[in-house]
Structure 1
Amino acid sequence: MEKRIIPISLPHTGEEEWLATKESIMSGWLTAGPKVREFEQIFAKRHGVKHAMAVTSATTALHLALVALGVKEGDEVIVPAFTWISTANVVLYCGANVVFVDVDRTTFNLDVNDLKSKITPKTKAIIPVHLFGLCADMDAIKKVAGNIPLVEDGACAAGAGYKGNAAGSLGTLGCFSFHPRKSVTTGEGGMVTTNDDALAEHISNLRNHGASISEEQRHHGAKPYILPDFNMLGYNYRMTDLQASVGIVQLKKLDSFIDERETWAKFYDEQLKEINWLRTPLVGTDYKHGWQSYVVYIDESKSPISRNEIMEKLQQMGVSTRPGTHAPHMLHYYAEKYNIKPDDFPGARDCNNYSMSIPLFNKMTEEDYHYVVHCLKSIK
């Protein structure tokens, strides 16, 4: 079989997105304006929530969510020990302390059995992560959390679902990413969702320097000499109409993107099941996977070579791979700050060391998928 070069991911963008951007450029409205508002409305409707607020990234979305909940110095926020570092960083931005909880090796998501022991009177919020597009077990988490606010880190989970409800509608607040490795992209960008009117208003103001009115409101209808009042410390976390114009086009393709990815995820499931050292993703019947990534788990007790050696071999054959993500407690900053050892969170440690993301994106061809399978099966 002829060698191919297959990246880990490529955004599915083209002429429609280019024309949408051109429309915004020609309109003269480049900052947060009517396209942002339209993008928010479409996103909110798709995810079954009253409010969606576009921001600059999932990181700023998470930060705003915690600020709006009043997280401050001395508080604690619970974060899975296997997630992108932003999930933990935003807690420190608020002056609070990160409390890590272990993860389930089979789902890569928060281990509910480890959650109860981590809750204290200082726990201000819990951030369940819907990793790789698979929602966390939110009912089980809610049962343990009680009245503690849940902030969904849905960075990977646009379009995903749990028990018939969309990601972003399952907790107090939801946060999403539109980075190019996500199912839909705006280049960089994020979204905060909620059904709470007061939180929505607070976040909408916070993202715009703390202003009492939006840029669009200020330029349309307000008296020319009136500037907004500022009654809180805010941030400049606004999405632009340029980004939103791309997001509108992308979001209309979201369900077809996920359907296509799910078809090829099932192909991988079937083709790779005979490899006894590789575990394919497990998806329960109550879950609608968003398939941001297809992440397998390598059993090194059965594999002919280590996970890292497998990744190097695949790279030599032209197939890009990545670890699923990292375990923040094993990264130098957090290990030193909290004096944590890798073995303190064995599930996250193993996911860090043995997970492997293989190519799954909407620009892949049938031949690409067959080639990835061929390369994996050739490892002896």
Structure 2
Amino acid sequence: MEKRSIAISLPSTGEEEWNAVREPFMTGWLTQGPKVAAFEKAFAERHQVKHALATTSCTTGLHLILAAMGIGPGDEVLVPAFTWVATANVVLYCGATPVFVDVDPITNNIDPRDVARRITSKTKASIIVHLFGLCADMDALRAVLPAGLPIIEDAACGAGASYKGIPVGGLGDAAAFSFHPRKSITTGEGGMVTTQDAELAATMDKLRNHGAEISEEQRHKGPRPYLLPEFNLLGFNYRMTDLQGAVGLVQLGKLDRFIAERQQWAEYYRDRLADVAWLRMPIFPENGNHAWQAFVVYVDLDKAPMPRNDIMERLQAQGIATRPGTHAVHMLGYYSERFNIKPEDYPGALNCNDNTMAIPLHNRMSAEDYEYVVDALRSIA
């Protein structure tokens, strides 16, 4: 088969998104305004939550949630050890301490058995990551977490996923989503926070706009637009632009189709690679819907013909992009040095760090692309 060039991920955008940004340009309303408000409303309805607030990224969304909850110095927040570094970074932004929890190498998600061992009197919240679009085991986690301890969903990969009929975004006290181009839907950069809690939503709404008591849109459309609002909180500038909101509305309308396509090709990978002894497929949940932000396999080093990185290099030479699933945050230089953590302190995360491999799965791949990836993997012996 002729050599192809297959990206690990590509955003699926086109004429509709291009046309969507015309209105903000024509009206002159470029910063947070009516398009963002419409995107928030539609996102809240799709994920069955009462409140959705757009932000500049999932990272700022997570920070916004922690700040609104009053997390600060002296507090501890539980964080899975295998996740993108931002999940831990936001805890430090608040002056609090991230307490790493090991993960289950079968699911890549936080291990409820290890959660119980990490809770102390200083634990004020837990961040639960739905990694790669697979929901964490919320029932098992609630069984070990103290009653009333806030649960924050890092749903960066989770738009459209669900657990036992409940969409991601409403499984905890608050959630943050990402619209980075590697996610199922994108606004370039951008994020969204969701919650059922009206008071928490009101606080986050103020904090994302410098602490202003009313938004710019409310002020401009109000009876006295010439007066500046009151500022009673120390806030941030975490507002999404209306250009992004316009794109987000179009993308959100395609979310379910995107996920259905990814589900179809995830099943194709599973079936065609089932007899490759050195590859373990990701979990296909029976109690919910996977968002398939990424298709992440596990390379069994006891059976593999070569180390994972060599496999990735070989695939790269054939034009197939791959990535490690993500990284074990406790092994990154800053965290290992600051908190004096050894790689083996979190064996599940270490295992995932060294052996997971994301292969291409996105909505701009053709059937021939998928066949090419399968054939390349099957040829490695």
Structure 1 unaligned spans of 5+: none
Q: Which residue of 1 aligns with 2:2?
A: 2
TM-score by length of 2: 0.99
CA distance in 1 between partners of 2:324 and 2:139 (Å): 28
3-state SS of paired residue (2:79):
strand
Matched, 1:332 2:298: no
CA positional deviation for 1:24:
1.3
Q: Deviations over 1:128-160 (max 9, x none)?
A: 100000010111111211211000000000000
1:151-170 matched pairs, under 5 angstroms: 151-170=152-171
Q: CA deviation at 1:59?
A: 0.1
Report the CA distance between 1:282 and its aligned residue.
1.1
Please give the secondary structure, in 2, of the residue aligned with 1:351.
Answer: helix
2:240 and 2:223 mapped to 1: Cα distance?
Answer: 22
| 1:251-276 deviation line (CA, Å, top 9, x unaligned) | 00000000000000000000011100
How many Å separate the matches in 1 of 2:379 and 2:90?
Answer: 42
Q: Matches of residues 91-240 of structure 1 in structure 2 within 5 Å?
A: 91-145=91-145, 146-240=147-241
Per-residue CA deviations over 1:195-246 (Å, capped at 9, x if unaligned) read 0000000000000000000010011013133211011100000000000000
Tell me the equivalent position of 2:256: 255
Match for 2:310: what amino acid?
E
* Match runs of 1:10-89 below 5 Å: 10-89=10-89
- The letter of the residue matching 2:133 is G
Q: Deviation at 1:80?
A: 0.1
Question: Which residues in structure 2 correspond to 1:355-374 (within 5 Å)?
Answer: 355-374=356-375
Question: Which aligned segments of 4 or more residues in structure 1 are displaced greater than 3 angstroms?
Answer: none
2:312 is aligned with 1:311: yes
Counterpart residue type for residue 374 of structure 1: D
Secondary structure in structure 2 of the residue aligned to 1:180? coil
For 2:27 and 2:131, the matched residues in 1 are separated by 38
CA shift for structure 1 position 37: 0.3
Return the letter of the residue paired with 1:313.
R
Q: How far apart in 2 are the matches of 1:291 and 1:228?
A: 42
**Distance in 2 between the 1:284 and 1:332 partners?**
34
Deviation for aligned residue 1:2: 1.1
**Distance of 2:261 and 2:226 partners within structure 1:** 52
Give the aligned CA root-mean-square deviation in angstroms.
Answer: 0.6
CA distance in 2, matches of 1:15, 1:25: 16
SS at match of 2:316: helix
- Give the whole-Å Cα distance in 2 for the aligned partners of 1:75 and 1:63: 14
**C-alpha distance after superposition, 1:43-75 (max 9, x if no partner):** 000001000000000000000000111100010
Partner amino acid, structure 2, of 1:265: A
What is the one-letter code of the residue matched to 1:266? Answer: E
Q: C-alpha distance in 2, partners of 1:124/1:233?
A: 21
- Percent identity over the alignment is 62
Q: Deviation per CA, 1:309-359: give whole Å up to 9, x if none.
A: 000000001100000000010000000010000000000001000000000
Letter in 2 for 1:177: S
- CA deviations 1:355-378 (Å, max 9, x no partner) are 000000000000000000000001
CA distance in 2, matches of 1:79, 1:315: 32
Q: One-letter code of the match for 2:154?
A: D
SS in structure 1 at match of 2:292: coil
Q: 1: CA distance between counterparts of 2:354 and 2:56?
A: 31
Letter in 2 for 1:253: K
CA distance in 1, matches of 2:142, 2:70: 20
For residue 303 of structure 1, give the secondary structure of its aligned residue in structure 2: coil
SS for the counterpart of 1:128 is strand
Q: What is the CA distance between 1:287 and its match in structure 2?
A: 2.1
State the AA in 1 paired with 2:207. Answer: L
User: Number of aligned pairs?
Assistant: 380
**Structure 2 counterparts to residues 243-322 of structure 1, below 5 A:** 243-322=244-323
CA apart distance, 1:284: 2.5
Gaps of 5+ in 2: none
> Partner amino acid for 1:152?
E
| Letter of the 2:166 counterpart | N
- How is 1:338-353 mapped onto 2 (pairs within 5 angstroms)? 338-353=339-354
The whole-number CA distance in structure 2 between the counterparts of 1:284 and 1:373 is: 22
Query: In 1, Cα distance between the equivalents of 2:133 and 2:285?
Result: 13
